[in-house]
Amino acid sequence: MYRSVQNPKDAARKVTVLELRERKSAGPMITMTTAYDFTMATLFDEAGIDVILVGDSLGMVVQGHTNTLPVSIDEICYHGRAVARALARAHLVGDLPFMSFQTSPRQAMRNAGKLLKHGSFESVKLEGGAHYAEHVYQIVRAGIPVMGHVGLTPQSIHALGGFKVQGKTLDAAEQIVNDAKALEQAGAYAILIEAMPPDMAALVTRAVSIPTIGIGAGRECDGQVLVSTDLLGLSRGHVPKFSKRYAELGDQAVDAARRYIDEVRARSFPDAAHEYRRVTA
């Protein structure tokens, strides 16, 4: 029987791809979020999150781009090394960014290996369906676990015409089901489903024997993922419909900074409690 994280011994047990696959039938639901630095990863690992993704979303939430396309493989590796140092329990997966795998299966395998060798990742995530099944197969054959990604694939943002919900018709959903089956057959251990109506995402989930992890895809998936800045209420501006904010840490950070400014200008910080005592002879 799986137990939630309650003590340091439980926390030290590493989540593996084999365990994640078993969650499809045995449960519990898989929890996943993003992290891009040591501090954030430390907190999520302590909380008991199952999977940490260093996603190419860092292009938007860390670097300030309007999409994920500018992110490089070296940048994913840099953030991966920082996050890996924090994790005692959570499984660490890294995105293969735009144009790091699309050219050929050989390119995909080489860059997947780079994520493990130079980014300290334990598996990789790759966007796209049946068209990239051979890429997934070659990566898996090299001993590298792969998480698939179907539905809305942000690296195809221009081809899709924007960040739009996918699989809204039975024909479109059937194509995504076929994509998911192709990824499973190629050896993927799990599939992320993004931005699909819940009933359509449920079709995908029932069609494969590996776990599905949803983001904006309803509760019938085998797990859920949220971008950490949305989860914590750190992001400003537009919030996607599917993103539940479990805190408003952005507001708290602004308030804390304002109080710091006020105290510095009033010369009330640092006070005696935050100063070193004078050394006497």
Place of tokens 């995908």: 204
What mean pLDDT is reported for the chain? Answer: 94
Whether 33 maps to a domain, the answer reads yes
Check pLDDT > 90 for residue 54.
Answer: yes
Query: Residue 201 in contact with residue 193, Cβ under 8 Å?
Result: yes
- Residue 8 reports pLDDT greater than 80: no
Q: Within a domain: residue 279?
A: no
276 within some domain? no
Indicate left, alpha or beta for 61 from its phi (over 0: left) and psi (-120 to 50: alpha).
alpha
Tell me if residue 275 is catalytic.
Answer: no
Q: Confidence class of residue 118 from pLDDT cuts 50, 70 and 90? A: very high
Q: Is residue 54, in this structure, part of any structural domain at all?
A: yes
Query: Is residue 254 one of the residues assigned to a domain?
Result: no
Q: Is position 170 within any domain? A: yes
pLDDT of residue 165: 83
Please report whether residue 240 resides in a domain: yes
| Amino acid code (one letter) for 181 | K
Provide the whole-model pTM: 0.92
Q: How many structural domains compose the chain?
A: 1
- Give the domain range for residue 184: 8-248
pLDDT-derived band at 237, boundaries 50, 70, 90: confident
Domain at 153, CATH number: 3.20.20.60
Choice among 22, 194, 263, 275 that is catalytic = 194
